[in-house]
A and B are shown apart, each in its own frame.
Chain A
Amino acid sequence: MNKIVTANEAISHIKNGDVIAVGGFGLVGCPLLLVEALSEHPVKDLTIISNNLGEPGGKGLGKILKQHKISKAIGSYFTSNIDAVNFVKDGKLEVELVPQGTLGERLRSAGAGIGGFYTRTSAGTLLAENKESRMIDGKEYVLESPLHADVALIKAQKADKLGNLVFSKTARNFNPDMAMAAKITIVQVEEIVEVGNLDPEQIVTPHLFVNYIVERGNHD
């Protein structure tokens, strides 16, 4: 099966109302080419799962936000983009705030078939309101649910033609977790290599998590 496509072909799988997980910590590790293709794709009412929502001035996901394509954002830190703050103020964006570690683990759980997990994180705080909690070994733990996505847009450094992935430095962040959590995972890479050229010991995301590969080099 050929997984190598153009950015526009890959993004054409996204439909109105989809839940889209987008990798990155700020703009580092964010698949900007795929986000750009999403900005040209006529969809609306998206739920975005991402640590942040782009940066001021319409950078990264900030561009999609300003196009009014996003109705809900799930992530840990949205204050870094003043546009997101203003959209919330104006009632144009719903936000589900999730502690950063809980965000990663909810994605991982979705990918791993875990039905939920208990964590000490957020116990006794506003973010635990209306959530089930229980005492374990004398400490309060909060029940968190898995976080599934329809499509994940992720960035890696290299893929082989099967879709095995290696990442680059702190650009890895949420990308491997999101690759696991989505029905369709689309990866943007710097380079596609022949099968066998990646050391099996170095592969972080095995190919069964990856559906489509877009090489950035073809789009520069």
Chain B
Amino acid sequence: MKSLDSKEKIAQRAAKEIRSGTIVNLGIGIPTLVADFISRKKEVFLHTENGLLGVGPSPSEGGVDPEIINAGKLPVTAQKGASYFSSSDSFAMIRGGHVDTVILGALQISESGDLANWAVPGKNILGVGGAMDLVAGAKEVIITTQHCSREGEPKIVRSCTYPLTAKNIVSTIISEYAVFRFIDNKMVLMELAEGWTVDQLKKITPAEFAVSKSLSFF
């Protein structure tokens, strides 16, 4: 079996967060990879905001239905028991708190749980999609992200310098090196990657965080 790259490792860890019997919306990028790691023993219903509850696996080459896509505009399938609905109904599910867990990527996350994941300063802002609706409505917001940007800049920061998607809404951050949870508005390190120390993590994490008494490794 080939070893997982850092994105797959994040997705694998995120899949463990998903509880059986829940409704989950997966964003574009690393979150999309999470679907492949969800244990088959769990009954999970994937929601996609363009109007499908019960997203199934990617179709085989011959099995593509051009009218079944996900929010990333990629072909998907519909599981048994799936339903289709309009955009306003889809976002009523999201805004109304009927979706349990949303997993999204990030440009920056702050120590107070603010999220920035839609716009880069200084560039024309021409796309927001459903991110602001998803985080405003979901019961739980899990961020899957590489710990630093491609340029090596830390993404988990004291306060976001990029335009916000929403304030104080992140529940959990999962990177290739760490799992943080927001507990009573404080960011707490719960898990650390094998072979890493808290001091090493602090060097690439400007955000202030507490360390859980039950810190474990993954």
Contact = CB atoms under 8 A, between A and B. Distances in A.
Given A78-B126, A123-B166, A173 B50 contact: yes
A115 interface: no
A171 interface: yes
Interface in A76-104: 76-80, 84-85, 88-89, 95, 97-104
Q: Which bucket holds chain A's interface residue count?
A: 35 or more
Contacts of A123: 136, 166-167
A177 B87 contact: yes
Contacts of A77: 126-129
B65 A169 contact: yes
Contacts of B65: 169
Interface residues of B, number: 41
Given A79-B127, A119-B136, A104 B164 contact: no
B88 interface: yes
Interface stretch (A5-13, A41-49, A61-69, A124-132): A124-132
A28 interface: yes
Interface stretch (B56-64, B67-75, B139-147, B149-157): B67-75
Contact of A78 (B71, B127, B131): B127
A172 interface: yes
Give the secondary structure class of A's interface: mixed
A204 B84 CA distance: 11
B130 to A, nearest CB: 4
B95 interface: yes
Contact of B91 (A84, A88, A100, A172): A100
A211 to B, nearest CB: 19
Given A170-B50, A172-B51, A125 B67 contact: no
A80 B127 contact: yes
Given A100-B130, A101-B130, A126-B163, A120 B67 contact: no
Interface in A164-186: 167-177
Contacts of A119: 95, 133, 136
B91 to A, nearest CB: 3
Contacts of A175: 86
